[in-house]
Amino acid sequence: MRILLVNPPNCGRSIPEERYGITSLKQIFRGEPLALEALAGNLCQHDVHILDLKVEPDNLQNQLTTFNPEVVGFTAMTCEANTVLKLARKIKQNCPAQIVVGGTHASSDPEFFNRPEIDWIVMGLGKQSFLELVEALESANNIQIPGVAPSTPNTPLRWQPRQYHHNDLVNNAATRYDLVDSYRSHYTLQSLGLKMGLVASAAGCPYDCNFCCIAPLTGGRYLSAEIEAVLRDINALEQTPVIRLVDANSFGNPSHAWQLADAIEKAGIKKQYLADVRSDLVVRHPQLLKRWKEIGLRAVIIGFEEIDDTVLKQMNKENNAKTNCEAIDILHQLGLTIVGDFIISPDYTERQFDQLGHFVREQAIELPMHTILTPLPGTQLHRQLQSQIMIHDLDYYTLTNAVLPTRLDEELFYQRYASLLHEGHSKAKV
Ligand code: B12
Ligand code: SF4
């Protein structure tokens, strides 16, 4: 079958820009569409193209005309969901292709895509279920695939849940990095101008933070990729000196992480790595971080989220401020750069902005990343705060807008937010 996999364009709207002329918060995000490359890897009997609209936003019509796909697959985060619907509607006007959507938003809030312009919604890990769907479409079989729902507009979706398993990673099907070769020069680490490639070494997370949308991707399980598969993917990114391990929780299985480090060293691979880790992992396994530093770990991304234990508890983070500070000390001693994620609640007071700014300076966090607490549909936080949400338009769910009421005057809130971001980014080098 001819299958076109589409990465949506950069999208999302900005309240600070639209209401207060604060344009400095807008960012352009680019990185390879690893999900689509992974899906393509398991479709070796088919003719697959990847279209990255983040790089070439105007090329959809041309691809539809020249490639004439029988299936179009979209990936979508929450802030991309409306855009995907719009694109799907456009495709439906003059192309008979079956339209499939998967990814974070489809997994957390599948009902959103239960519309006439979408034919199939794939929830969670998609490599195996998408192949099964494509094969069933090809043979026109009665389609009943766990984790895949046919769209049934005006009637609630019905599907069999999928018990995500190691088999869903389909380790033996190599990621098709070659399908984005022509885009590769756009996938750079902005701060250093270095080419950056993405590799997955695990999927899912066993924790259940109330704001987080990762758990539905694997039904709450943590699955590690086979070491050989990770090495194969790193090696495939030959011209790419920096590798971002995209796992939500990279060293979540410490013995796997040790084996992977040993295997990378043994294979003589010389690259630099960025990885997401929890601070309690750092405190429990400092030697593991040291080992990874030896084989090229350059920076770690840590979700500190908050500096106040009461709030961390409300978030169900299963971690605390003391552990966060201990982890910061260990990472600094090891000479690792810290990219620290913090979540600013819309009910922040000026004093809380001051305290957070002070904490980041005092702890010398190299690159603080501040997002605004956003109840993403499908999360526990969304269920808790649903009645307070003021903005339901998903274009604003970029994690840089307050969709809940701010305690401070709204303009002041965004001014404080913008200055916190700029203070952090002005001296940052990852
Ligand atoms: C890499 C990455 C990016 C990259 C590349 C993404 C891309 N598509 O271009 C870049 C840098 C561009 C990016 C940008 C942003 N990102 Co981002 N990103 C990630 C990250 C770290 C990894 C995603 C990934 O590649 N995973 C590996 C692949 C293999 O797994 P996967 O994507 O889950 O795909 C599997 C399934 O979901 C499914 N699947 C996925 N798509 C499809 C499609 C079909 C057809 C099918 C059948 C199945 C399927 O099958 C895949 C294989 O099993 C995640 C966090 C995480 N660890 O997941 C955040 C994450 C997805 N990003 C997030 C956000 C918020 C953003 C931004 C808004 C910026 C920000 N504030 O952080 C921007 C939005 C860009 C825009 N449109 O303007 C959030 C999304 C939350 C949400 N519900 O929307 C996440 C979850 C991080 C977080 N903070 O919680 N991001
Ligand atoms: S925020 Fe991090 S630790 Fe918490 S559930 Fe999400 S990925 Fe796991």
pLDDT grade, residue 405 (50/70/90)?
very high
Mutate to test the pocket of ligand 1, among 77, 82, 120, 242 (most ligand atoms within 8 A of CB): 77
> What average pLDDT does the structure give for the chain?
96
Is the Cβ–Cβ distance between 420 and 353 less than 8 Å? yes
- Verify whether ligand 1 is closer than 6 Å to residue 379 (CB atom): no
376: left (phi over 0), alpha (psi -120 to 50) or beta: beta
Please say if the pLDDT value at position 296 is more than 90: yes
Beta carbons within 8 Å of 138's beta carbon, 6+ residues apart: 1
Q: Do domains 2-166 and 187-426 have the same CATH topology?
A: no
Tell me the CATH number for domain 2-166. Answer: 3.40.50.280
> How many angstroms separate the alpha carbon of residue 358 from the centre of ligand 1?
31
Mutate to test the pocket of ligand 1, among 36, 43, 71, 104 (most ligand atoms within 8 A of CB): 104
pLDDT grade, residue 26 (50/70/90)?
confident
pLDDT tens, 328-361? 999 999 999 999 999 999 999 999 999 999 999 9
Mutate to test the pocket of ligand 2, among 104, 209, 223, 246 (most ligand atoms within 8 A of CB): 209
- Verify whether ligand 1 is closer than 6 Å to residue 12 (CB atom): yes
* pLDDT score recorded for residue 430: 66
pLDDT tens, 58-102? 999 999 999 999 999 999 999 999 999 999 999 999 899 999 999
SS3 of residue 289 by DSSP: helix
For the chain, the 3-state helix, strand and coil shares in percent, each to the nearest 5, are 40, 15, 40
Is the Cβ–Cβ distance between 123 and 110 less than 8 Å? yes
pLDDT tens, 185-210? 999 977 777 899 999 999 999 999 99
CATH class in words for 187-426:
alpha beta
Q: What are phi and psi of 5, to 5 degrees?
A: -105, 130
Domain ranges for the chain: 2-166, 187-426
pTM, two decimals, is 0.97
> Above pLDDT 70, what percent of the chain?
99
- Verify whether ligand 2 is closer than 6 Å to residue 224 (CB atom): no
